Amino acid sequence: MKKNLLLLSLLISGYFFGQTYPSLNVSMLGTLSPCSVNNWYASGSNTKYSSVIGWANPVDNKEYAIMGGTDGYYFIEVTNPTTPVLRDFEVGVNNNCLWREMKMYGNYCYMISDDGPANGFIIADLSYLPDSIHVVHKGNSIIRTCHTLFVDGNKLYCGGINTLALGSQAMAVYDLSANPESPTLLRYLGQDYPSLNYVHDMWVQNDTVFASCGNQGLHIYKFNTNNTFTELASYTGYVQAGYNHSSFRTKNKNTLVFCDEVPTNTVVKILDVSNLGNLTMMDTIHSNMGATPHNPYILGDSLALVAYYQDGLYLFDISNPSNVTVAGFFDTHYQNGLNNGFPSSPTSYMGAWAADPFLPSGNVLVSDMQNGLFVLDISAVTAGIKKNKKPEISFNLFPNPTTDQLNVSLINYKGDATVEIIDQLGRKVSSQ
C-alpha cells in the first residue's frame, strides 16, 4: 500500500507541474492532487478538496500537510517541498463531503465535517508518521458534525456544532488537557448568549474569541476561568457587510483582518481592534473586482495571506493598516478567475479554500478545491517586508510592579516616541 501511495503521488505531482500559474513574488515548490472523487457540491465544478493545515513533528522535524478531500483525510509529507508524498489516508465516516476541517493539538489531529448525515469525529495520533497515523477515536459519541475548529492552549473551540447531547449549538468549548483522546465539554455559547444563532468560524488567543457569526456580524467574547462567556464587543453594519466568515489578528493585537464570504465580490476588511471599545475600520482591500475572499491568515504584524477562491492565494502588506498594498499572489486556480471574468457557473466558489503559512520551513500550504495541495515559496515577499520594516525599540520599565508612577527608559533610541498603556480589555488608558 505504501508503494502504491508513493507512485500515485509522483505521477500526480508531475502532471500538475505542466500547468501555468500566474504569480507575483511567489513561486511553486510542489503540488499534489491525490483525490480522484468529486463531491456533491455544484455539479460540473469538479470539487474534491476543502481545508488544509500543516504540522511539523518535533521529534524528527519532518513537515506534513493534512488536507480534507471528498472521501476523507490525506496526510502528505512536504519535508522535501518539491516532491510531496502521500503517507497515509483516513476515510471519512461520510465519504462524500464538501466541508472537512482539521486542527492539531500536540501530536493529535482532530477531524470533523459539517456535511449531513452525521459525519463523526475523528482523532488520530500522528507521532507514528511517516509510517502511518493511529486513529484513537472515530464516531458520533463526542461530536456528530461541526463546521470549524480552533485550538487555543488546551481548549478546542467548535463552531456550528451538533452533538447527541446538545443538538445544534452556535459554539462549544472542550477541554483537551485531561485526555486529548476524549475531549470533555466545558461550555456552549448558548448557555450565556442564546440569541447568538451560529458561529461560522473563530480566531482565539488566550481565551479571547473573535467569532465570525455569519449574518449576525463579528462578536468578541472572553471565555472566563469559571467556564462562562462574556461579550467584550460586537461589530455589525460595516461597509459591505455580508456573511461574516472568518478572521485573524496580528501578533501585536492591534489589527484584525476579516472576510465576508457572501455575497460574492466582497472586500477584505482591516479593523483596528487595539481598543475593543472603539472598533474602527482602517481599510478595505481587494485582489481583483469579481473575486471573493475566503480565509485570512497573518504572519507577525505586517503580512496578511488570503485564500481568495478563484484568485488563489493573495498576500497583502498590512504594516500600514490604513494603506494596505498587494505584496504578491499565486493563482492556484488556473481554470477560472481574472482570465475569464470570475464565472458564477457552475459556482463562484471555486479555487483556493485555505492556507497554512506557519510551518517552520516558512513554506506555505494552500488547498485548491479543484487542484489539490500547493507548496509555495513566499520568501521574496517576506524579505521585502522585513527590509522595509521599522526597527523595534527596546525599553526598560521601572519600578516594576508599580502603583501610581512608571518610568520608561528607551534603549539605543534617539528621537520622539509615544507610549500607550492598554488594559486587559484592550482599552487605551494612557498615551504620552
Q: What are the mean pLDDT values of the chain's consecutive 10-residue runs (432 residues total)?
A: 44 52 97 96 95 98 98 98 99 94 99 88 98 98 97 99 96 98 98 98 98 99 98 97 98 98 97 98 96 98 98 98 98 92 93 99 99 98 74 54 62 56 50 62
* The pLDDT of residue 397: 57
Considering 353, 369, 388, which residue would you say is the last residue of a domain?
388
* The pLDDT of residue 97: 95
Q: How far apart are the first and last CA of the chain?
A: 66
What region does 93 belong to: left with phi over 0, alpha with psi -120 to 50, or beta?
alpha
Centre a 10 Å sphere on the Cβ of residue 247 and count the other Cβ atoms it contains: 23
323 and 426: one domain?
no
Calpha distance 410→395 (Å, rounded): 4
Calpha distance 127→211 (Å, rounded): 31
412 and 354: one domain?
no
356 and 401: one domain?
no
358 and 409: one domain?
no
124 and 219: one domain?
yes
DSSP codes joined into one string, 9-68? HHHHHHHHTTS---EES-EEEEEE-------SSSTTS---EEEEEEEE-TTT--EEEEEE
Residue with cell 516532491: 83
339 and 359: one domain?
yes
For residue 321, what is the domain's CATH number? 2.130.10.10
375 and 414: one domain?
no
- How many domains does the chain divide into? 2
285 and 408: one domain?
no
413 and 358: one domain?
no
206 and 291: one domain?
yes
104 and 242: one domain?
yes
Domain span at residue 407 reads: 394-431
Calpha distance 214→130 (Å, rounded): 38
- Whole-model pTM: value is 0.86
296 and 322: one domain?
yes
* The pLDDT of residue 406: 67
Instruction: Report the relative pairing of strands 167-175 and 155-163 from DSSP bridges.
Output: antiparallel
Calpha distance 78→90 (Å, rounded): 18
